[in-house]
Amino acid sequence: MSIQSNSVPSQQEKRSWKIWWELIRPHTLTAAFVPVLIGTLLALIAEEVNWILFAAMLIASLLIQAATNLFNEYYDFKRGLDTAESVGIGGGIVRHGMTPKLIMNLALSFYAIALLLGVYICAVSSWWLAAVGLICMLTGYLYTGGPIPISSTPFGELFSGFFMGYVIILIAYFIQTGDVSGIVAIVAIPSLILVGLINMSNNLRDHDGDKANGRRTLPILLGREKGVRFMVIMFAIAYLWVIVIVMLGIITPWILLTLFSIPKATKATKGFVGKTIPIEMMPAMKATAQTNTIFGLLLSIGLLISYFV
């Protein structure tokens, strides 16, 4: 999203479907879609899959991610972090005249629908999932809500990666099989890393603004340059993890297809090097999210090939 003009948007612009689409920050939704797909395909290799359960889990995950983005929109405005000059997507309140109440009500509506889907998932699989699902939803709210938002601490990447990139894979597998194997827990690690890096790319872009507002994100704690180096190291760990688990015979060699996403990861990290202006880092942010998407899709293709051959 580019910097917008300070002029008041027209009523037609306010009603544009593009604004509503931008509000849910679509580039982040792959962080919900890809883990559900991976967990389900891992289950498919183990036994038959209930595709209705898959659809329910997918929609619920997307709604929770979208609601989390709306909570972020709401609380960033309330805390004065969002202005008409801010770089990034969203901006329904500061740029398009939407009321904070509307944003919050939409987020709560998404949560309500996700909760109903969660009840169905629990009824078909296990009610033990109710506690896990509620913790995930609470974490989504507390990420930007509450007295000490997780997003303002150095643990934002860890929480987003763990709950969105890791736990969702385990849940998607569990609802299909009634169990969570050690193999699934091991295969899910790269997803944890890549989803966390989506969050870190956002924090790298917002480094100066976050620091000025007293936030203590991981890039602020490490410093901008060390933050980029940390990203490089984590990308390397994710790909080395894939190679190692294949060499150990834990998972099919077909998942080595994920290595074809390395150029996109390289583009993401290079895009942050030497950059200090937020708008200049937007392509790198996009490339980071795309790395997760491409990696996840290639992993899914590898799992599908191993299922059929």
pLDDT at 97: 61
Q: Kindly state whether residue 4 falls inside one of the protein's structural domains.
A: no
Q: Kindly state whether residue 112 falls inside one of the protein's structural domains.
A: yes
The total of other beta-carbon atoms located within 10 Å of residue 220's CB is: 20
pLDDT at 183: 93
pLDDT at 32: 85
pLDDT at 140: 86
Q: Kindly state whether residue 11 falls inside one of the protein's structural domains.
A: no
Q: Kindly state whether residue 9 falls inside one of the protein's structural domains.
A: no
pLDDT at 15: 52
Q: Kindly state whether residue 8 falls inside one of the protein's structural domains.
A: no
**Rounded average pLDDT per 10-residue block, the chain, 309 residues:** 37 55 74 92 92 95 89 78 54 65 89 95 92 90 85 92 94 94 95 94 89 89 94 98 97 97 96 89 92 96 94
pLDDT at 9: 42
Total tally of structural domains belonging to the chain:
1
144/34 Cα distance (integer angstroms): 23
pLDDT at 73: 81
Residues 6+ apart with CB under 8 A from 128: none
Question: Which letter does DSSP use for residue 9 in this model?
Answer: P
pLDDT at 28: 74
> The tokens of 48 are what?
């038959």
pLDDT at 210: 84
For the purposes of burial, counting CB atoms within 10 Å of the CB of 81, is it exposed (0-12), middle (13-18) or buried (19 or more)?
buried
Q: Kindly state whether residue 262 falls inside one of the protein's structural domains.
A: yes
Q: Residue 139's domain spans which residues?
A: 17-304
pLDDT at 214: 84
301/211 Cα distance (integer angstroms): 41
Q: Kindly state whether residue 10 falls inside one of the protein's structural domains.
A: no
Q: Kindly state whether residue 74 falls inside one of the protein's structural domains.
A: yes
pLDDT at 309: 87
CA angle, 42 as apex, 36 and 47 as ends, to 5°?
115
